[in-house]
Structure 1
Amino acid sequence: MPTTAPRRIAINITDMKITPIEAFAKQVEEHPDQVYLRQPIKGKYHEKTWSEAYDNSLRLAQGLLNNGLSRGDRVAILAGNSAEWFISDFALVAAGLIPTPIYATAGEEIIRYVVEHSEAKAIIIGGVGKPDMALASVPKGVMTISMSNGPAGTDHTLAQLIQDNQPLADIYKPSLEDTWSIVYTSGSTGKPKGVVLTYQNVSYTATISVSMFDKGVAERYLSYLPLAHVTERALVQYNSLYSGGTVSFNESLETFIQDLRGAGVTSFISVPRLWVKFQSQVLANVPQKKLNLLLKLPILGNIVKKKIRTQLGLDNCLSFGSGSAPISPSILKWYNRLDMPIAEGWGMSETIGLATTNFPFRLDKLGTIGKAVDGFEVKASEQGEILIRGAGVFKEYYKNPETTAEAFTEDGFLRTGDKAEIDSEGYLTITGRVKDLFKSGKGKYVAPVPIEAKLADNQLIEQLCVMGSGLPTAMAVVVLSDEVAKGMSKQEIAESLAETLKDVNSRIEKHEVVGGIRIVKDQWTIENGLLTPTLKVKRAELEAKYMDFCAQPHTETIVWE
């Protein structure tokens, strides 16, 4: 694990006029030999200092321009998180090219669509599950470049381009209104849209997040959430350019906890599913009743808290976050008892990630997504839809002026598609998606998200989706947590879920009452097409898969697939 050092910030973090590459250069000037990137390979860290990473980025930038690319050209990055991903992205920005990321889990159809729609002139590939498929998906005439873990047979390799070229001297100096990147939304339905983000967007989000989360220590991050999603790029990758933080990477799913421990993170943002997984792993070793007893003991309770945080690799962490999807307040309360106050946040690709947050953490605001980050203005429409404008809001949808026009109100607010209630202090509580409402067989509209949040209080539930379009009552389809359910009989599980269902139904409107819980066998994953790359459920796909199961008549409330 890297040692804690006095924080070094060579720039004014509130000055949004400093572009990312300028921030990079200032960090190099301030501490060239400090470790910046830490890449684990077979359990051993390979490190790059700030000056080495900067030099590699500028050499790659020159190599790209020497091979026929011109400023303004789009270049796709199809790869898993790595130091090479950072260097590729920074090289494109330094050369005046436009990074166009693609999720490493994308299939042939999406790869081809993004490359063709963005008119990318080149693609950089590495760390994908099916490298040959990825390469075969690239349209003819597009230059291909392979990372060290990329496919064979590409036009160039990253290492070759870095080795064969001198550092770029004429570094691109953009205006804040220039396009920085085109980010294609993961999308739960339809083709992804190209979100055009500017240098103002990324500079704003990176600098404001550094200012918000400043803890007076050298920042350390683990980059593991998809870099194709803008939140990871803005709050980890580009944040590091302004904070001077050290970034470690996750080598594989199997080594995640080991890599998290090795990173010694000071900040950790995750998604609800991982927080639930962590909770389940703790409870598998220490049942809830025993944990409750231990936490009541003053000295022993503190020892237990520290041991749990150490086992999770979060013993050095000073700020915790959750986003991408709703998380149950009961889970947040559970972690808060362990001295892990998780601040829920909200944002979207169109707001370059973070737009609202419950940071600094307030226990009395659990269940909210916090209030607007400085620089954003938030309000609700007459229908309760969140409307937002500010320095982080995107420029347009690429080659889609009609959808761009529809996305904004006449006074310049972005229509987010999320519905929320706003309290007197400006804190927002999500009540669902505008398009997620479904009409039951009784002709009444049901908002599934708030119901799901209540059902998720039961620790047996790892994944769930409330559905019921056209059915007499809504139904909850759930995947059980293997760790929590281990050792329990079906009767015990059914009794626990039935008790939760009864409690939830007593707290919601009559037309929203959930008629039963249907327990399914298979986990919902990105690979089987039931989750987006950011781990949101794909409701349409889940309904297509399980609606018949839900519609089958049963006398029991809890039914196994």
Structure 2
Amino acid sequence: MPINYDTSFLDRLAPNVAVQFLDRVAASPDAEAYRYPEGAGWASMTWREAGERVSVFAAGLLALGIEPEQRVGILSATRYEWILADLAVMCAGGATTTVYPSTNAADTAYILSDSECRVVFAEDDEQVAKLKEHKAELPHLLRVVTFDGTTDDSWVINLAKLTEMGEQYLAEHPDVIAQTAKAIAPDQLATLIYTSGTTGRPKGVRLQHRSWVYEGASIQVQDILHEDDLQFLWLPMAHSFGKVLLSTQLACGFATAIDGRVDKIVENLGVVKPTFMGAAPRIFEKAHARIVTMQQSEGGPKEKIFDRAFAVGLEVERRRAEGRMVPPHLRLQHALFDRLVFSKIRERFGGRVRFFISGAAALNQDIAHWFNAAGILILEGYGLTESSAGSFVNHPRDYRIGTVGPVLPGSEVRLGDGDEIQIKGPGVMEGYHNLPEETAKTLTQDGWLRTGDKGSLDADGFLTITGRIKDLFKTSGGKYIAPSAIESKFKAVCPYASQFMVFGSERNYCVALVTLDPEALEGWAEENGVAGKSYTDLVRSAKVRSLVQGYVDELNSRLNRWETIKKWDLLDHDLTVESGELTPSMKVKRNVVGANYQEQIDAMYA
């Protein structure tokens, strides 16, 4: 049975994010708040120090003329200055508009123009150049504040100048931050997050202060995270998953180590030794693939020990999940393999992880079980930008792999037409910015959010996601196919996979387009005597095609007959954000890929 929580916490919520932050500073002044790379090591900042810097930045924004709910953009990769800037916007009564640093200049200008941003925090000269290129389209943009870029003291200033302005403003108005925070209503706009979307222009999701405060408090009341936890944060802060973890930190008081460089994640985990981290499934897929391929390359006794260890680990995990006894001989084997194999895998992630949180897309069950067998628990959650990212999450003491857990305390869930998941609660958005018709399509008149996802609820309220309703298709034989389920299974069986995209709407069988992970393929090439060959040359080789066919055969053995992949084609490049085939949160734009490679898809039906 799921744990039941007292929802009276809803009556005690802080009125807004600014007060929530200032309350945390007052409650934990000398505790560590943030840790960040500096030189060859890491520097640290207490809550008191964070409070002082945020207050000065917020006063600087007020000196620039920011008024309640006026938008301030942040155009930067994940770094501690991003967080301080966001908190400063909150404490100044403004509303943050987030932009991915990978967003092209035209789309950046569209987002900042549509949101009418008055000030933008821009990471460096590369980001500032996007703004200068489209300056004529940004009449509302009064000033740019750069973290690292070149300044011109008129339109572009740096943090030092903002600090100078803020200190002067505070000297003249010493109580302004507390007064401004106190005046922010719970339903005041806090954030505009533009969904990258898989079709059309991005839509600005209007999220209120009450939504973010609720998100953090709903995790705090579940006793999942505590002040002595340490988070490693690398997620793109333009994405709602990263933002909800900031709210959770303010509510729970743990410290956060921040470094947005994706290529440094594993290295940083070994140094920082966090107790938890949020990530998209692709991170776990890549980690799983890397460990498996490394063992395969070792071969011999080491590979046999590794395989036997996981056979035992998965059996122990299965028995425990079913509430069955683990016999003594199996416990002894498990203890031995834990020392020989599993402890070394845990050490790769720092050795202190209590759990990971997976969100933003579906996590394959086989990969979740594999990590759990090694003693690394991955708790899957679910939500949308339109629901402030977090609506469901499994609990460390009550989880079910394959589900995204029960709805958060204080929220409700129901299944609508076609088993569409619908959510109601404090986290649900106010609506889409300047798009009343789109808002009306997505929010029911009585406040339920139509997610567009299909799912099922078990007797205890644990939610299983079937897939995006619009992505489901029917073959000419009348069978319904959920492509995302097949795609995630392939990534679990093939450690070299990057993307696997299934097509077959109104056709008599399913086909797939395949891309391989360039890093994993490079490792395979070294082990197979073809190092130095280009990605394109490798994927065109008979040996690689034979390799992929073997994994497709393994996939098909796990599928229903009508789901099996009859034909497939390897693309000569991986999909990228830059090509427009992936969103900044690494989701495949299925319609774009389908259109770009229609000729290859049609050829598989010739």
User: How does the TM-score come out when normalised to structure 2?
Assistant: 0.82
Specify the SS of the correspondent of 1:206: helix
Structural mapping, 1:267-346, within 5 Å: 267-287=276-296, 289-294=304-309, 296=312, 297-303=333-339, 304-313=341-350, 315-346=351-382
Given the alignment, which residue of 252, 274, 278 partners 1:265?
Answer: 274
1:518-533 superposed matches below 5 A: 518-533=569-584
Distance 1:254 1:450 in 2: 27
Letter in 2 for 1:155: V
Alignment of 1:78-97 (within 5 A): 78-97=75-94
Q: Distance in 2 between matches of 1:267 and 1:513?
A: 37
User: What one-letter code is carried by the residue in structure 2 that aligns with 1:483?
Assistant: A
Aligned match of 2:328: none
Higher mean Cα deviation, 111-120 or 546-555? 546-555
Letter paired with 1:43? A
State the match for 1:226 in structure 2: 236
Query: What is the rounded CA distance, in whole Å, between the counterparts of 2:27 and 2:115 in structure 1?
Result: 37
Identify which range, 346-355 or 210-219, moves more after superposition. 210-219
Amino acid corresponding to residue 144 of structure 1 in structure 2: R
Deviates more, 1:452-461 or 1:85-94: 452-461
- Tell me the equivalent position of 1:144: 143
Q: 1:128 to 1:479 in 2, by over 3 A?
A: farther
Q: Rate the CA distance shift 1:66–1:208 in 2: closer, same or farther, 3 A.
A: same
What is the alpha-carbon distance in structure 2 between the residues aligned to residue 527 and residue 128 of structure 1?
19
Q: Does 1:119 align with 2:116?
A: yes
Structure 2 equivalent of residue 367 of structure 1: 402
Letter in 2 for 1:274: I
Counterpart Cα distance in 2 of 1:454 and 1:45 = 38
Distance 1:275 1:127 in 2: 30
Q: Deviations over 1:37-60 (max 9, x none)?
A: 222134332332212211111111
Deviates more, 1:493-502 or 1:95-104: 493-502
Query: 1:165 aligns to what?
Result: 166
| Matching of residues 43-192 of structure 1 within 5 Å | 43-126=40-123, 130-138=127-135, 139-141=137-139, 142-153=141-152, 154-166=155-167, 167=170, 169-171=175-177, 172=180, 173=182, 174-192=184-202
Question: How many angstroms apart in 2 are the aligned matches of 1:308 and 1:462?
Answer: 22
Q: Residues 395-434 of structure 1 correspond to what in structure 2 (within 5 A)?
A: 395-434=430-469
Deviation at 1:376, TM superposition (A): 1.6
Render the CA deviation track for 1:236-270: whole Å, top value 9, x for unaligned. x2222222221211153343322223332111111
Contact 1:104 1:128 in 2 (8 A): no
Name the CA distance, whole Å, in 1 between partners of 2:88 and 2:604: 59
Note the alpha carbon deviations across 1:62-105, whole angstroms, 9 max, x for none: 11221232222111111111111111111111111111111111
Q: Which amino acid aligns with 1:293?
A: R
Q: What amino acid maps onto 2:250 in structure 1?
A: L
Give the aligned partner of residue 380 of structure 1.
415
> Residues 35 and 423 of structure 1: is their aligned pair in 2 closer, same or farther, counting only changes over 3 Å?
closer
Residue identity opposite 1:291 in structure 2: F
How far, CA to CA, are the matches of 1:18 and 1:411 in structure 2? Answer: 24
SS in 2 for 1:52: helix
**Number of the residue aligned with 1:3:** none
Q: 86-95 or 544-553, which moves further after superposition? A: 544-553
The CA distance in 2 between the partners of 1:195 and 1:277, in whole Å, is 31
* Higher mean C-alpha deviation, range 213-222 or range 61-70: 213-222
- Closer, same or farther: CA 397–128 of 1 in aligned 2, 3 Å: farther
The 1:152/1:518 distance shift into structure 2, 3 A limit, reads farther
Displacement after TM superposition at 1:123 (Å): 1.1
Q: CA shift at 1:61, angstroms?
A: 1.4
CA 1:503/1:362 → structure 2, altered by over 3 Å: closer, same or farther? farther
Shift of 1:472: 3.8
User: Compared with structure 1, are the counterparts of its residues 217 and 164 closer, same or farther at alpha carbon in structure 2 (3 Å cutoff)?
Assistant: closer
Q: Which of 452, 459, 479 matches 2:515?
A: 479
2:109/2:131 contact within 8 Å kept: no
RMSD: 2.6
Matched-pair contact (CA < 8 Å) for 1:271–1:324: yes
2:508 counterpart of 1:457: no
Distance 2:158 2:565 in 1: 55
What is the alpha-carbon distance in structure 2 between the residues aligned to residue 553 and residue 227 of structure 1?
A: 40
The answer on whether the counterparts of 2:354 and 2:377 sit within 8 Å (CA) in structure 1 is: no
Alignment check: 8 A CA contact 1:125 1:144 kept? no
CA contact (8 A) 1:145 1:158 kept: no
Gaps of 5+ in 2: 1-8, 297-302, 313-332, 529-542
Matching residue of 1:6: none
- Classify 1:201/1:70 alpha carbon distance in 2 versus 1 (closer, same or farther; 3 Å): same
Matched residue of 1:90: which SS?
Answer: helix
Structure 1 residues 110 and 454 mapped into 2: Cα distance closer, same or farther (>3 Å)?
A: same
Q: Secondary structure at the match of 1:258?
A: helix
Contact 2:100/2:584, CA 8 A, preserved across alignment: yes
Most deviating of 284-293 and 427-436: 284-293
**SS, match of residue 600 in structure 2:** helix
Q: State the shift of 1:170 in Å.
A: 2.1
Q: Take 2:474 and 2:220, find their aligned partners in 1: how far apart are those partners?
A: 44
Q: Contact conserved, 1:13 with 1:242, CA < 8 A, in 2?
A: no
- CA–CA distance in 1 between the matches of 2:445 and 2:420? 15
Pair 1:534-2:540 in alignment: no
Would the aligned equivalents of 1:343 and 1:360 in 2 still touch at CA under 8 Å? yes
CA offsets 1:296-339 (integer angstroms, 9 cap, x no match): 544442222222121233x1111211111112111011101111
The residue aligned with 2:557 is: 503
SS at match of 1:115: helix
In 2: Cα distance, 1:447 partner to 1:302 partner:
37
Measure the CA separation in 1 of the matches of 2:63 and 2:465.
Answer: 49
CA gap 1:251/1:323 in 2 versus in 1, 3 angstroms: closer
Structure 1 unmatched runs, 5+:
1-11, 556-561
Alpha-carbon deviation of 1:18? 4.8
Aligned with 2:202: secondary structure? coil
Distance 1:260 1:134 in 2: 35
1:140–1:348 CA distance, 2 compared to 1 (3 A): closer
CA distance, structure 2, for counterparts of residue 291 and residue 517 of structure 1: 31
CA contact 1:341–1:361 (8 Å) conserved in 2: no
Q: Is residue 204 from structure 1 mapped to residue 214 from structure 2 by the alignment?
A: yes
Does the 8 Å CA contact 1:132/1:151 hold for their aligned counterparts? no
CA contact (8 A) 1:385 1:434 kept: yes
- 8 Å CA contact retained: 1:41, 1:251: no
Q: Using the aligned pairs only, state the percent identity.
A: 28
